[in-house]
Structure 1
Amino acid sequence: MSRVVNLILILLVVLGVGYVYQIKGEAEEASDRAAALQGQIDEVRQTIEILQAEWSHLSRPDRIQTLVERYEQQLQLGPMEVYQFSTLDDVPLRPIELDPLSRGALGGVAAGQPGVLAQ
């Protein structure tokens, strides 16, 4: 009887070791994936920093002024006049297209709202 119990316990220990080894492998794979993603994140951040620096360089007012002076004939730019400015009242509103009421939904702005149904 005690031999059977010992064999069962040894079998359980071997199964437990195998399970722990499997979990260790999965944890290492997850760690590798996390490290790879972190590397990608670092590359993207570095690219963003480079692009921000390039944008700062390209949008410098003195550089833009030099380009305007160099290409004055092609651009035909001039100083802004007061009449060139507009107000929001001058901008036309977008027309609202109403859906047919037979479909049961409200038209216009309410049509895009979830949970809004015609009575």
Structure 2
Amino acid sequence: MRSLLYVLTAFAVMGLAFWAYHENYRTQAELSEARKLQSEIADLRERLGVLKAEWAYLNRPDRLRELADINFARLGLLPMEPRQFGDAREVPYPGLALLPVSDAVDTIAITGDNQ
């Protein structure tokens, strides 16, 4: 009976050793994958920073103004005028539809309620 207990204990120890060995390699593989992903994230963040800088460089107002001037005839762009913008009294506010437009704007200005 004792020898059977020794044999079962030996098999249990070997099984646990195999399991620990397998888990160790699996853990190492997952850590390696995590390092690769962190490296990829760092590279992508760096690339995103470069792209943001390039976008800011390309959208400089003086450059855009120059491009608009160069392509004025082809694009048919016109300078902006104040009359092209709307007035706050022209914006419809829900819940104030029964009031005249000027009263609605005055009510919003007084109460701050523009829901």
Give the drift of 1:83: 1.2
Question: What CA distance in whole angstroms lies between the structure 2 residues aligned with 1:84 and 1:58?
Answer: 27
Give the drift of 1:15: 0.9
Counterparts in 2 of 1:56-95, with a 5 A limit? 56-87=56-87, 90=90
Which AA in structure 2 matches 1:11?
F
| Counterparts in 2 of 1:66 and 1:33: CA distance versus 1, 3 Å | same
Q: Which residue of 1 aligns with 2:37?
A: 37
Measured against aligned partners, the alpha-carbon deviations of 1:72-115 in whole angstroms (never above 9, x if no partner) come to 2223333321210024665789xxxxxxxxxxxxxxxxxxxxxx
Q: Which residue of 1 aligns with 2:10?
A: 10
Once structures 1 and 2 are overlaid, which stretch shifts more, 22-31 or 69-78?
69-78
Question: What CA distance in whole angstroms lies between the structure 2 residues aligned with 1:11 and 1:88?
Answer: 83
Question: What CA distance in whole angstroms lies between the structure 1 residues aligned with 2:88 and 2:29?
Answer: 57
Question: What CA distance in whole angstroms lies between the structure 2 residues aligned with 1:14 and 1:89?
Answer: 83
Percent pairwise identity: 29
Normalising to structure 2: TM-score of the pair?
0.65
| Counterparts in 2 of 1:64 and 1:36: CA distance versus 1, 3 Å | same
Which AA in structure 2 matches 1:42?
A
Question: What CA distance in whole angstroms lies between the structure 2 residues aligned with 1:91 and 1:66?
Answer: 34
Q: Which residue of 2 aligns with 1:108?
A: none
Secondary structure of residue in 2 paired with 1:77: coil
Greater fraction of residues in helix: 2
Measured against aligned partners, the alpha-carbon deviations of 1:28-53 in whole angstroms (never above 9, x if no partner) come to 22112212322332232122112101
Q: Which residue of 2 aligns with 1:53?
A: 53
Once structures 1 and 2 are overlaid, which stretch shifts more, 39-48 or 84-93?
84-93
Which AA in structure 1 matches 2:30?
A
- The answer on 1:27 being equivalent to 2:31 is no
| Counterparts in 2 of 1:45 and 1:10: CA distance versus 1, 3 Å | same
How many residues of Structure 1 are paired with residues of Structure 2 in the alignment? 93
- RMSD (CA atoms): 2.3
